[in-house]
């Protein structure tokens, strides 16, 4: 009987991971993998990784990001965004070993929920997740292309300027978020600002200013490999407008400029997750062309 070893992934695993990617998808996501492994080493608190090896040969691997605050979440969750098993090891329970290893690491960090996404037509993946205790989550992925917004919304208030997010903006963004949520999510935003330098995605986050005062923000990234995708897609993590500027077109202007920037980067799709009860955000995005995605959100509670 072979002896399998369970451990974390390391940057030096990149070539073996790439080889497995090539055998599974035919197109290794080297940029994504290199950046994700480097980020997991640089910011270990933001990631959970797991590798299964046999005599130092990589049989399978998984990446989970630790998120706390994205899409309005009030507690930390783990998001499994990459999992792969070498073809010669499939059917031998390696996927279950990877998932179990990630779940044990979650328990050690008091994280009780793991989520993932998959396209509804990937039946094998859906069967795997169903067999390991996942079910449909309450939220929904919505998306649109990066064509310009139409002009049927009232113009933005005079004096509003949209610019790229800077590290010094964190205090103002924390204050706006606290006014909107009633929560102190400074740790979440500190993590997001660190990701601007260290994570795998291209950051395209912005703020809106009025006479030098930040009136709103949108935090987004372009990633090249989450959930097995090979196309460039942008993800909006969070958007917020100071209550004093509600109804002035700040949110519209932020989203409009984001789409322009994404189109320049040749990104064709932007996605986000909305909870069913968040009718305000859902209506705002629906009016701006967002529609339900073909991607499903699956979730599991760890006991």
E strand spans, 130-243: 135-136, 140-145, 160-164, 202-203, 206-210, 213-223, 233-241
| pLDDT value for 227 | 46
Give CA–CA dist 159/61, Å, rounded.
Answer: 50
Give CA–CA dist 225/84, Å, rounded.
Answer: 12
| pLDDT value for 199 | 52
Of 93-102, 193-202, 217-226, which has the strongest mean pLDDT? 93-102
10 Å CB burial of residue 200 (0-12, 13-18, 19+) is: buried
Q: Which among 263, 267, 266, 259 is positioned nearest to 288, based on CA atoms?
A: 259
**Cα–Cα distances in angstroms (integers) from residue 184 to residues 165, 189, 190, 266, in the given order:** 20, 10, 12, 36
Neighbours of 265 (CB within 10 A): 13
| pLDDT value for 139 | 87
pLDDT band at residue 214 under the 50/70/90 scheme:
very high
pLDDT digits (tens, 9 = 90+) for 187-203: 778 877 876 655 545 66
CB 6 within 8 A of CB 97: yes
**Which domains does the chain possess?**
4-140 (3.40.630.30), 142-291 (3.40.630.30)
Ranges 7-11, 21-25, 60-64, 168-172: which has the least confidence: 21-25
Question: Mean pLDDT in the chain?
Answer: 86
pLDDT surpasses 90 at 105: yes
pLDDT band at residue 61 under the 50/70/90 scheme:
very high
Is pTM beyond 0.85? Reply is no
Give CA–CA dist 280/180, Å, rounded.
Answer: 12
């Amino acid at each position: 009987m072979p002896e399998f070893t369970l451990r974390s992934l390391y940057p030096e695993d990149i070539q073996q991971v790439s080889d497995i990617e090539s055998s599974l998808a035919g197109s290794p996501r080297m940029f994504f993998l290199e950046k994700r492994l480097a980020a997991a080493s640089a910011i270990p608190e933001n990631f959970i990784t797991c590798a299964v090896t046999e005599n130092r040969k990589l049989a399978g691997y998984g990446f989970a990001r630790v998120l706390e605050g994205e899409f309005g979440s009030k507690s930390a969750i783990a998001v499994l965004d990459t999992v792969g098993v070498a073809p010669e090891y499939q059917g031998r329970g390696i996927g279950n070993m990877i998932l179990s290893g990630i779940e044990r690491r979650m328990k050690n960090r008091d994280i009780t929920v793991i989520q993932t996404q998959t396209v509804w037509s990937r039946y094998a993946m859906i069967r795997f997740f169903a067999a390991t205790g996942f079910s449909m989550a309450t939220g929904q992925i919505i998306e649109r292309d990066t064509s310009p917004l139409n002009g049927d919304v009232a113009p933005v208030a005079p004096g509003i300027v949209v610019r790229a997010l800077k590290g010094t903006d964190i205090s103002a963004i924390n204050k706006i978020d606290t006014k909107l949520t009633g929560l102190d999510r400074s740790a979440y935003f500190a993590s997001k600002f660190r990701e601007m330098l260290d994570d795998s995605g291209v950051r395209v986050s912005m703020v809106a200013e009025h006479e030098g005062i930040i009136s709103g923000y949108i935090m987004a990234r372009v990633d090249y490999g989450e959930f097995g995708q090979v196309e460039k897609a942008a993800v909006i993590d969070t958007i917020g407008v100071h209550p004093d500027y509600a109804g002035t077109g700040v949110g519209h202007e932020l989203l409009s400029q984001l789409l322009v920037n994404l189109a320049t980067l040749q990104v064709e799709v932007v996605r986000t997750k909305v909870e069913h009860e968040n009718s305000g955000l859902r209506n705002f995005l629906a009016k701006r062309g967002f529609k339900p995605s073909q991607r499903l959100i699956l979730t599991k509670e760890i006991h």
